[in-house]
Structure 1
Amino acid sequence: MIDEMTSALTRIRIVLVETTHPGNIGAVARAMKTMGLSRLDLVAPKPPIDAETLARASGADDVLEHAGRHATLPEALVNCRLVIGASARLRTIDWPLLEPPEAAQRLLAEAAHGEVALVFGRESSGLSNVELARCQALVHIPTNPEFSSLNLAAAVQVLAYELRRAARAAHGEQLLDPPRDVATADEMESFHAHLAQALRVIQFGDPAQSHKLMRRLRRLFHRASPDRTEINILRGILTAAQRHHLPSASASDTTVLP
């Protein structure tokens, strides 16, 4: 499944049109690689790849090395079965507009069958209407309307994350914690008995109301669902507290329960 996911992601082109800052190209490469994307295509970039580009790439040099370079946008879109353009502002033209998760799902669905592209425009003005007309749909990141300026690399990172999230969901990949060795019911009962005993030894709470206190403490520790190591740590703390109060405690109260 991971190989299938990787294969789909490698068919997604990130196309940058007339990028004006060399650092942005490097930052885009880094944003792509962190999410498993590797196909970068540059359309008439203004600056050459330089030391700043490599520095901002932070190890994604291979993405830069294999980046395609094109004189025009149509050249960068050859053989693409789906093209979605990123628009920083809502356009007045009547064009399908997608939220980032929906755009990611559409790109991945088509990437299962061939090449697709996600196109980003110039830092200052975005994509022209002529360039947008080459896209089947637009994707808009719903930023704060009072401060909607989003750096090019940040925009790529948002959409690259959505692509990876959709790919993981499609292939059943989940972030799972390793199985926990949780304390068993009998171990929890021994702990609660030890806790009640320790509370008596340190004279915490009203003995007449202790049953209410113990119910609340039971609920607390059941919610926490401690593992065996954590229970052992807690019981060690209880034992230390009992020993500290040993001079004022009776022999029956200071017996440590198993």
Structure 2
Amino acid sequence: MNPDNIRIVLVNTSHPGNIGGVARAMKNMGLARLYLVAPKQFPDEQASWRAAGADDLLAGAVVTDSLAEAIADCQFVVGTSARERRIPWPLLDPRQCAAQIATHSGQEQVAVLFGREDRGLTNEELKLCNLHLHIPSDPGYSSLNLAMAVQIVCYELRMLHIAGDLPASAEELWDSPFSTVDNMERFYEHLEQTLIEIGFLDPAAPRQLMARLRRLYSRVRLDEMELNILRGILTETRKQVHRDD
């Protein structure tokens, strides 16, 4: 994936604040190429205010009179559709579409089109696209703000771009190795002896106390640092018991 080959194209945007919101969303996710097709009002201070630090994207925005001009040099074009249409082109969700965009952007110029706030892209504009993207929002309230829609698509692209830098699992982020079976067995012996000494566990009638405690600690998976803390608490507890004796 090459973010420099991906452009976000806004068609006939009515509110300049939405342009600023889109610029902010793009910069958050590492995209910088913004194209504006016949915006109603741009430049505008509302766009700068909503950009919140992404003014460089606004300053570098390419403004064109027509969509054809904005995508003339592109080899792969994705059009966002607010609703599912009976059309002969593939209709993908943002995650599926991001994978296609990432692949094509390696060597090709890619454009992602977003239409007017009130009615999106026209059928004629959608015919210029290789793929159509639909964000599957809740049918009970499907309306999405323009900047929100751009943010969703840009987020999916960002996740693909940094995939190699992300940990494979949450365990890779852990600051201490997880406890070994041998160390856990020593902990259980230490715990049982301490519970006996403080009178909480009756060795003559243990019931299922230790089994349940084993289940508890097995479920949370202690790391070595956490285990050492608990062992320290048990040691100090036993010292206090013997001191009271």
Report the TM-score range of the alignment, normalised by the length of the smaller protein.
0.7 to 0.9
* Number of matched pairs: 241
SS in 2 for 1:117: strand
Deviation at 1:21, TM superposition (A): 1.5
Question: 1:86 aligned to 2:84?
Answer: no
- Give me the identity figure in percent: 49
Of 212-221 and 114-123, more deviation after overlay is shown by: 212-221
Match of 2:36 in 1: 42
TM-score with structure 1 setting the length: 0.83
Deviation at 1:42, TM superposition (A): 0.9
Q: Distance in 2 between matches of 1:144 and 1:80?
A: 32
Deviation at 1:81, TM superposition (A): 0.6
Q: Distance in 1 between matches of 2:231 and 2:209?
A: 18
2:76–2:111 Cα contact (<8 Å) kept: yes
> Compared with structure 1, are the counterparts of its residues 75 and 209 closer, same or farther at alpha carbon in structure 2 (3 Å cutoff)?
farther
Match of 2:166 in 1: 174
Question: 1:156 aligned to 2:167?
Answer: no
Structure 1 residues 144-168: Cα deviation after superposition (integer angstroms, max 9, x where no partner): 1111011111111111112222334
> Compared with structure 1, are the counterparts of its residues 209 and 88 closer, same or farther at alpha carbon in structure 2 (3 Å cutoff)?
farther
1:192–1:218 Cα contact (<8 Å) kept: yes
Mark the runs of 5 or more structure 1 residues left unpaired by the alignment. 250-258
Deviation at 1:126, TM superposition (A): 0.5
2:104–2:110 Cα contact (<8 Å) kept: yes
1:101–1:166 Cα contact (<8 Å) kept: no
Among 211, 224, 227, the alignment partner of 1:231 is 227
Deviation at 1:205, TM superposition (A): 4.1
Q: Distance in 2 between matches of 1:230 and 1:247?
A: 26
2:178–2:222 Cα contact (<8 Å) kept: yes
2:196–2:202 Cα contact (<8 Å) kept: no
Over the aligned positions, Cα root-mean-square deviation in angstroms equals: 2.3
Mark the runs of 5 or more structure 2 residues left unpaired by the alignment. none
Deviation at 1:143, TM superposition (A): 0.9
Of 127-136 and 172-181, more deviation after overlay is shown by: 172-181
Question: 1:192 aligned to 2:175?
Answer: no
> Compared with structure 1, are the counterparts of its residues 185 and 62 closer, same or farther at alpha carbon in structure 2 (3 Å cutoff)?
same
Match of 1:218 in 2: 214
Structure 1 residues 38-67: Cα deviation after superposition (integer angstroms, max 9, x where no partner): 111111111223333223222222222222
Q: Distance in 2 between matches of 1:131 and 1:214?
A: 68
1:30–1:57 Cα contact (<8 Å) kept: yes
Q: Distance in 2 between matches of 1:73 and 1:206?
A: 81
Q: Which runs of structure 2 are paired with 1:124-143 in the superposition (5 Å)?
A: 124-143=118-137
Of 85-94 and 180-189, more deviation after overlay is shown by: 180-189
Q: Distance in 2 between matches of 1:207 and 1:109?
A: 65
Q: Distance in 2 between matches of 1:246 and 1:121?
A: 76
1:19–1:121 Cα contact (<8 Å) kept: yes
